[in-house]
């Protein structure tokens, strides 16, 4: 039987303000972990739209992507279950807006926190993925690509 390999598409917000990066602390099967505001791309949305939605759900703040930081491929193997997942991540930087009054953090999110680059580096053992650190380092290095490099065909929204 020929099975087609399909990576899981995810989106992440790389948010920096005053020299600190916004991370979330979340429950995972591996315990409490730190991550960028991030999650899976939903049907019918562009990667930038998915990033704005995930950031709102995980931080209660609106987020407007302004540039692509990078596109990343990573593999995760869960030792307890043998699950083997490859992620294709689109990471965006942008403008963090105000919190939405009355909105709660998404299920599983414990809190948001602001960390300096050195604090992010020092906490690497608690990161949900090595991409947390890689995306921050790419952002610090000035990597920015126009949003237009990621084209979403109009048919995606009608599907």
State pLDDT tens for residues 17-29.
999 999 999 999 8
**152 is a domain residue:** no
Give the C-alpha separation, 106 to 110, whole Å: 9
**54 is a domain residue:** yes
Whether the Cβ atoms of residue 61 and residue 114 lie closer than 8 Å to each other: no
**153 is a domain residue:** no
- Average pLDDT of 80-93? 88
Q: Considering the entire predicted model, what is its pTM?
A: 0.92
**55 is a domain residue:** yes
**76 is a domain residue:** yes
**110 is a domain residue:** yes
Looking at residue 127, which CATH number applies to its domain? Answer: 3.90.79.10
**155 is a domain residue:** no
The range of the structural domain enclosing residue 57 comes to: 8-144
In this structure, what are the phi and psi dihedrals at residue 155, rounded to the nearest 5 degrees?
-65, -20
**72 is a domain residue:** yes
**Number of independent structural domains in the chain:** 1
Tens-digit pLDDT profile for residues 113-130: 999 999 999 999 999 999
């Amino acid at each position: 039987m020929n099975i087609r390999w399909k990576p899981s598409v995810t989106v992440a917000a790389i948010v920096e303000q005053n020299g600190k990066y916004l991370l979330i602390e979340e429950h995972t099967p591996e315990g409490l972990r730190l991550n960028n505001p991030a999650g899976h791309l939903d049907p019918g949305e562009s990667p930038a739209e998915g990033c704005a939605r995930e950031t709102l759900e995980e931080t209660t703040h609106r987020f407007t992507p302004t540039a692509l930081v990078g596109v990343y491929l990573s593999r995760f193997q869960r030792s307890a279950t043998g699950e083997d997942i490859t992620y294709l991540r689109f990471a965006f930087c942008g403008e963090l807006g105000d919190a939405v009054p009355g909105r709660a953090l998404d299920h599983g999110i414990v809190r948001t926190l602001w960390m300096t680059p050195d604090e992010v580096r020092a906490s690497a053992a608690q990161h949900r993925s090595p991409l947390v650190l890689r995306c921050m380092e790419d952002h610090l290095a000035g990597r920015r690509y126009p949003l237009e490099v990621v084209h979403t065909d109009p048919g995606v929204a009608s599907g």
